[in-house]
Amino acid sequence: MIFIGIEWVRWDVSSKFNGLQNDVEQFEMERLHLSETFRAVRSERHDFLKHISSIHYMLEHHHHEEAAAYLDDLVDGYEETNLSIKGERGSVAGILHQMYNRGKTCGVTMIYDVDMPLSTLPLPDKKIVTLLGNLLSNSIEASAEWLEHYDNGASVSLQFYKRSGLYMLVCKNPSLPISPSILDELFQSYGHTTKEGHEGLGTKIIQETVKEYNGFLDFVYKEEEFTVKIKIPAIH
């Protein structure tokens, strides 16, 4: 009995330690995302007057087309950052900005179509980061594979709005054909994934997070487009 008791205590302590270690790793990742977002905003603010001076010089010397092209490029850069941080709390802005850059690096167009900040979801920031991180990561990887196969434009669309007391989160992306056996188990259990060399943890984590907050998850795969729709009650 003493041996069993010692083993139980050892197992309990080990489980708690692993949980704390995972929390530390996630907090460190969030810190890195937030630092990168802060660096981008600080850099843009620091260089703003320099850009204005350059545009002013071009206009004074009647280089209107050059000034217009310069301004368009400048606005695109500001919009990229603004899409990620507008009204968001730090950690959420960090994951959105990081995923935006990740998609851009893969050649995937990222579209954030939100009626309100994603930070308004009735979840702790840690859970929002987990949900968005897994959702967007899966979409970007599927889009990158589709892009490589077809050599055609690919985009990830993330919509967020509120209707009839429900927060609606909709994510769409192109996807190569998925076998029915995988679709049947997707979001239901670990180990099912559309990607080679992956453990299939992301989809199950998404489902568990949604379920924990009394939400609903549905997905549709049709004509090589994958859509995930998440509904979370505004009141617990």
Give ∠ CA 49-52-53 in degrees, rounded to 5.
90
pLDDT (0 to 100) of residue 166: 95
CATH number for the domain whose boundaries are 2-233: 3.30.565.10
pLDDT (0 to 100) of residue 18: 62
Its pTM surpasses 0.85: no
pLDDT (0 to 100) of residue 36: 63
pLDDT (0 to 100) of residue 190: 45
- C-alpha 193/C-alpha 180 separation (Å) is 12
Would you kindly state where each structural domain of the chain is located, as residue ranges? 2-233
- CA nearest neighbour of 230 among 141, 140, 163: 163
Q: Which residues of 89-122 are buried (b: 16+ CB within 10 A; e: fewer)?
A: bbbbbbbbbbbbbbbeebebebebebeebbbbbe
- C-alpha 200/C-alpha 193 separation (Å) is 5
pLDDT (0 to 100) of residue 192: 43
User: How many CA atoms are closer than 13 Å to the CA of 14, on its beta-carbon side?
Assistant: 6
pLDDT (0 to 100) of residue 197: 43
Q: What is the mean pLDDT of each run of 10 residues along the chain (236 residues)?
A: 65 63 61 59 61 75 80 64 65 86 92 91 91 94 95 93 94 93 72 46 84 93 94 84
